Amino acid sequence: MNTFIPAEHFIDYIVQDQKICLNLNRFREILEFFECVNIEIRDAELILWFENTRAKLLLYDEIQVDLLDEIFNSFETESKIILKSEYLLDAIQEIDSTCSEIIFSISDSFVIKTIGLIGKSVIQCNNLESIESKPAELRFTFSQFKHTFKALGISTRTCIRINSVGMMFLQFMIPATDSFTFVDFIVTIFNSSLILSKTELVKPLVRLVNQH
């Protein structure tokens, strides 16, 4: 994970030029529990101290985190869609939350389909800024895709790319002070009309990148 935290948020700090990768959900849970923490990086752990309480987070190897990018980019991009996030959010909010999978149908239009307890939903996403695509229909587990909703809700633009084996790369542009932050997700295929490969086994990734 690469992210930007303003210096004024720290009481004191001594840092080296070091990049770390960790589970963002676990880190957030600890920060919500502790009012103020001392943070130390030791070996392959991030250690957070508050009074007499200590929490440890295992760090990921940066090579492992970058592997998904490598795998995604090793296959040709066959679909690319750019749209304002509010339009995608409107479409997502119409989805039946009881559905187990979500289907993206892409040709010269972008359609989202689901089947849940209350029936079938077919939602066409309009007002696309651009679409370049070969015809494809891709299926993902809905629980997988739900990880993107928070970032989608605070972003202004969304870029969706799909490669030739059906992996989906979503990039959300989020306003920050005098800049933008880009939050990236890579979601792997549940089932697809395209040819599948070992990339089915790759886990979803979230990466934060600050862009001035």
What pLDDT does residue 32 have? 59
3-state secondary structure 138-192: EEEEHHHHHHHHHHHHHCCEEEEEEECCCCEEEEEEEEECCEEEEEEEEECCCEE
Average of pLDDT values for 182-196? 61
* Alpha-carbon gap, residue 148 to 43, rounded angstroms: 31
CATH number of 63-211: 3.70.10.10
pTM of the model: 0.62
Long-range contact set of residues 26-33: C-beta below 8 Å, sequence gap at least 24? 26/57, 27/57, 30/55, 30/57
What pLDDT does residue 40 have? 58
- String of b and e for 15-46 (b: at least 16 CB within 10 Å)? eeeeeebeeeeeeeebeeeeeebeeeeeeeeb
How far CA 5 is from CA of 38, 66, 92, 175, in Å, comes to 15, 22, 30, 15
* Residue 7 pLDDT level (bands cut at 50, 70, 90): low
Domain positions in the chain are 7-62, 63-211
* Residue 11 pLDDT level (bands cut at 50, 70, 90): low
pLDDT, tens digit (0-9, with 9 covering 90-100), for 47-58: 665 666 656 565
